[in-house]
């Protein structure tokens, strides 16, 4: 069961990826985790990635793909994996397909967690984080007992820069330009499945498990 998760920032694909991994006993693989693990372990690929990251540069596609393929070769991926956060562009998707094919391998499914932009702006714009302890809340879905105060420590709640409406809109623009074409790519590959990400987390997961089972 080799799955790639697609969806706009804030669509909830990361949450669903973790739930899939837990239910089916396969690893949840994100590029961020791979970078951190390789850097921590001082691998050759990790050292190369660190050189770019230390300069605030994006890790090149070729290196990112090498790290991902190295991760796929590990024993815990023998029954599959959930890939989250890669590919982000058509070039990355084509390179991933080619690398898998070279190993007589292929993805089984690409799952698109579909959420309209206006829902995402509402979701992310309503998030609040405690400046003291990092606790997270949402003005609509998980409001604090006292407005603007953390339930856990009483600290001040603030909106992160990443969650400001103008920032979210910019991120969505980038997503639609670069990542949305992946929907068409995996549709042509015949492996795309779409779920309604506006539903409750557990309802979305039920839709996904119905596809996987």
Catalytic residue IDs: 13, 88, 127, 160, 171
Asked whether the CA dihedral 188, 189, 190, 191 is positive or negative, the reply is negative
Contacts of 185 (CB under 8 A, 6+ apart): 90, 93, 94
Let me know: does 95 contact 101? Beta carbons within 8 Å.
Answer: no
* Residues 2 and 106 sit within 8 Å (Cβ to Cβ): yes
Structure token pair of residue 115: 């959420």
Specify the pairing of strand 157-158 against strand 127-130.
Answer: antiparallel
CB–CB of 152/135 below 8 Å? yes
Report helix, strand or coil for 85.
coil
Burial class (CB in 10 A: 0-12, 13-18, 19+), 16: buried
Tokens 């990443």 belong to: 162
């Amino acid at each position: 069961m080799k799955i790639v998760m697609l969806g706009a920032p804030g669509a909830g694909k990361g949450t669903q990826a973790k739930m899939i991994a837990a239910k089916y006993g396969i690893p949840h693989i994100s590029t961020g985790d791979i970078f951190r693990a390789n850097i921590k372990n001082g691998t050759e690929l990790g050292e190369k990635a660190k050189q770019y990251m230390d300069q605030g540069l994006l890790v090149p596609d070729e290196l990112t793909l090498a790290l991902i393929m190295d991760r796929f070769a590990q024993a815990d991926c023998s029954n599959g994996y959930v890939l989250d956060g890669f590919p982000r562009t058509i070039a990355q998707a084509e390179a991933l397909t080619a690398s898998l094919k070279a190993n007589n391998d292929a993805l089984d499914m690409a799952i698109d967690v579909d959420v309209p932009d206006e829902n995402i702006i509402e979701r992310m714009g309503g998030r609040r984080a405690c400046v003291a302890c990092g606790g997270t809340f949402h003005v609509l879905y998980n409001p604090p007992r006292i407005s603007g105060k953390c339930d856990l420590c009483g600290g001040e709640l603030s909106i992160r820069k990443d969650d400001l409406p103008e920032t979210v809109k910019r991120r969505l623009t980038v997503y639609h330009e670069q990542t949305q074409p992946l929907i068409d790519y995996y549709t042509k590959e015949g492996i795309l499945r779409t779920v309604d990400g506006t539903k409750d987390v557990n309802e979305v997961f039920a839709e996904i498990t119905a596809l996987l089972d």
